[in-house]
Chains A and B, each alone.
Chain A
Amino acid sequence: MESPQAVLEMKGIRKHFSENLVLKDVDFTLRAGEVHALLGANGAGKSTLMKIACGVLPYDRGQVYVRGKQVQFRSVTEARNAGLAMIHQELSLLKNRCVYENIFMGRELTKPGFPGLLDEKKMIEISRKILGEMGYELDPQRKTADLSVAWQQIVEIAKAVWKKADIIIMDEPTSSLTKQETSQLFQLIGRLKGEGCGIVYISHKIEELFQIADRITVLNQGKVCLEKEMSQVSKEELLYAMTGKHIYETRREKARTGEGILRVEGLGGKGFHNCSLSVRKGEIVSITGIVGAGRSELVSSIFGINKASEGKIFLLGEEVPLRHSPSYSIKKKLGLLPEDRKKQGLIMGMSVERNIVQAALNLLFPRGFISASAVSEQAGKYGRQALYQQEMEKLPEKLSGGNQQKVVLAKWLCTNCQILIFDEPTKGIDAAAREEIYRLMEELARQGKGILMVSSDQREVLQMSDRVYVMKQGTISRELKREEITEEKIISAEF
């Protein structure tokens, strides 16, 4: 409350998801009439912090003040009534409704004297006025589904304006906009700023922040590590704050690599196109890039969860049919540790032991009958190999992220996979377990397995990779050999 024009103030916010502390006593202040950028690597806690601000998520500790008054929102509606609006990355408009219906969603106008009868004429009129004042000419009676993403975003903002929101949070608003649409959005932000709105702007695109933001807060692993006027920081300073104090120069020893075991040629599908890559025995190859560059889509098509539409995949020298299933990949000794461990990697509600043998059931029990002792023997063996030290009978939902990842890894070791794809292997995992996962990956490479790692974590890419592919807008924009891997080169290829 030290500065009178602070519209949103968060003090000492702490938040955990199961056993992970994702926000560690974070302070954040938004002043009236400013655009405040929020920057951080994936999983640094930006979205979580903002979801707390507008009542989507509860928090463990700390205080939130809106215009100097302490508040504790229990729902989005309460936050909205206090003037907060969040524009999510995935827009929340009803696609089959008209523009004006979306703008008035939840606060429809009724005819005077007839509660329950909608006053559509008035709503359309006001919608047109609001959009007009914002500087856009858009027919409020158009179907939202027919609009481009940029226009849909404008409708979202109009919704916030109509609700008289003066604290607007935008979560990566430009992630799917063209250059021209982006500059249009920036004009609008400028206008809102002029009217005294405070705007929190979350984005990965650093160049953009220099254009639009007044002040910036950088989060790194749940802590604020930089808060400054935008005019006083350099790009290098931001990157340094984002990636942490240590720039990892120590890298693993040069791997002894063997013949190629995974090759992909010109693969294309939903979200990626014309991707070619290869992995050799004993090699750790990374795919990096910003969120939305198509990395996960690419690897899940290689594994067979999504179907690719063009190109070729070779596993252990043999061509694989494009529309193959994961069970086919597993037979061909390819395994995937997915980014979403809860939904794809593990089966919650099923014991760790059963999770570990799940993918190898056909292999272990070709006659179809299961022997409980064989299951505990195999699960124990591979669990130990993956450094899993908890009880085998536990349910995975009770485990920390690190232990969950070890269970997923044990599952693939149990199938004796020769090629392993790690999608964000250390996302949501604490520092100690992280090092263990790295050690395991190195050990696997030394045993002659091929590893393909998708990662957004610069440090991890620098530390682990023998080669790096950088993806940009759905295709591989650059391949970096071992000697060429530097942070600057990766970043310049990403953006």
Chain B
Amino acid sequence: MKSTRRQKIFSYVPQVVMLWTLVLFLSVTEPAFLTKENLSNIFIGQVPFLLLLSLGMTISVIVRGLDLSIGSNMALSSCIAGLVMKQAGMLPGILSGLLTGCLLGMANGILIAKVRLPAFIATYGMDWIGKGLAYVLMMGTTAYGFSPAFRSLSLGSTAGIPHLLLICLTGFAVVCFLFSRTVFGWKVYAVGLNTQGAVCSGVEVDRILTGAYMLNGLLAGLTGLLYISQLDAVDPTIGEGWSMKLIAAVLIGGASMKGGRATMGHTLFGVLILAILTNGINLWGVSSLWQQVVTGCVILFSILLEQSSRLFRAYMEKRQWEQKEKKI
């Protein structure tokens, strides 16, 4: 019992060290970093969206996939939600947004589980479709000026806590619960670790995969809603460029692409590191072009860190075995 708990905690060491160094370095070198405006910019302007979408990406990584359609899904569901909201009111708008996200995710899931397309290809195609539909939908029409109630989703706060933060933390907690304490979550991990083994244990792999991608889509739909609530308008371009950022967050969190090994907790750290890093680079006044180079370096660095710790563990085990063998 103790040993696995210790292992779990140890697996966070590289991420904690990276985050801590980053924060320490920034607060010393940049007086602007620890100001209230800057922190709220990070934790309300960046983290909620990044976190919710990264959770979806983590789910697809757990089942040995990759979801390149998350950004488009968010754009399309927010466009549909905005249009419906202007016609029929807030509740139908919200529901239609979530439903669109879910359906797009389901389409991904069916393509991957039933048609057996590689996740990369299925979601890449879906990325184009979602993006295209969003543009087609918004041709010659717009939606802006939403009701105050809807806008308070992103702008308001309860007991001093901004709603945006509240929603994303609730989302995080729910997803964590789903993956650690429900039959569905355990089956998703089983499928990710060993699909064949899961089948032989009676896991309905097709259904679980589809469910996982639907949840992923639902998260994208939710984020889309929050986004247009903050923007107060619908914009089909909001989905651009997200996928790579999300993969970056998941990788910096230390997830392995091998499946079944990513956790929501690691992704949280990945999101925090990525958001603060981006913020820091802006504060330093480094051009946004260099920002990409730095992000790439951090991704590679965190993966190297992860791998070297794994190699170290393997080396220790081998030595143990050799010593045992010598005794014989």
Contact = CB atoms under 8 A, between A and B. Distances in A.
B190 interface: yes
B131 interface: no
A183 B260 CA distance: 50
A350 B190 contact: yes
Interface stretch (B64-72, B115-123, B177-185, B216-224): B177-185
A20 to B, nearest CB: 13
Contact of A393 (B1, B199, B201): B1
Nearest to B3: A393
B181 A369 contact: yes
B114 to A, nearest CB: 14
A91 interface: no
A347 B193 contact: yes
Interface in A316-354: 325-327, 329-331, 336, 338, 343-351, 354
A345 B197 contact: yes
B187 A361 contact: yes
A361 B3 contact: no
A331 B189 CA distance: 22
Contact of A365 (B4, B183, B261): B183
B202 interface: yes
Contact of A348 (B3, B187, B194, B201): B194
A362 B261 contact: no
What is the interface of chain B mostly: helix, strand, loop, or mixed? helix
Contact of A326 (B182, B183, B189, B202): B202
A426 interface: no
Nearest to A327: B202
Given A327-B204, A370-B183, A349 B260 contact: yes
A327 B186 contact: no
Contact of A370 (B182, B194, B198, B200): B182
Interface in B1-55: 1, 3-4
B201 A350 contact: no
B182 A358 contact: no
B292 interface: no
Interface residues of A, number: 34
B223 to A, nearest CB: 25
B155 interface: no
A60 B196 CA distance: 32
Contact of B200 (A338, A354, A391): A338
B156 to A, nearest CB: 32
Instruction: Kindly name the residue among A372, A393, A411, A415 whose own CB sees the greatest number of chain B CB atoms within 10 A.
Output: A393
A348 B202 CA distance: 16
Contacts of B129: none
A368 interface: yes
A368 B260 contact: no
Contacts of A338: 200
Contacts of A351: 4
A370 B187 CA distance: 12
A305 B200 contact: yes
Contact of A349 (B4, B184, B202, B261): B261
B203 interface: yes
A359 interface: yes
Interface centre among B1, B186, B197, B201 (most CB of A within 10 A): B201
A372 B194 CA distance: 22
Contacts of A365: 183
Contacts of B181: 369-370, 372
A60 B318 CA distance: 12
B3 A347 contact: no
Contacts of B4: 351, 393
B186 A326 contact: no
Contacts of B196: 343-344
A351 B193 CA distance: 12
A358 B4 CA distance: 19
19 contacts: A325-B202, A327-B202, A327-B203, A329-B202, A343-B194, A344-B196, A347-B190, A348-B194, A350-B190, A351-B4, A354-B186, A358-B186, A358-B190, A359-B202, A365-B183, A369-B181, A391-B1, A393-B1, A411-B201
Q: Which 9 A-B pairs have the closest CB atoms?
A: A327-B202, A330-B202, A359-B201, A393-B4, A344-B200, A347-B197, A358-B201, A347-B194, A361-B183
Given A359-B201, A361-B183, A368-B183, 13 more contacts: A60-B325, A325-B199, A326-B199, A326-B200, A327-B203, A330-B201, A349-B194, A358-B190, A361-B186, A365-B183, A369-B181, A370-B181, A411-B201
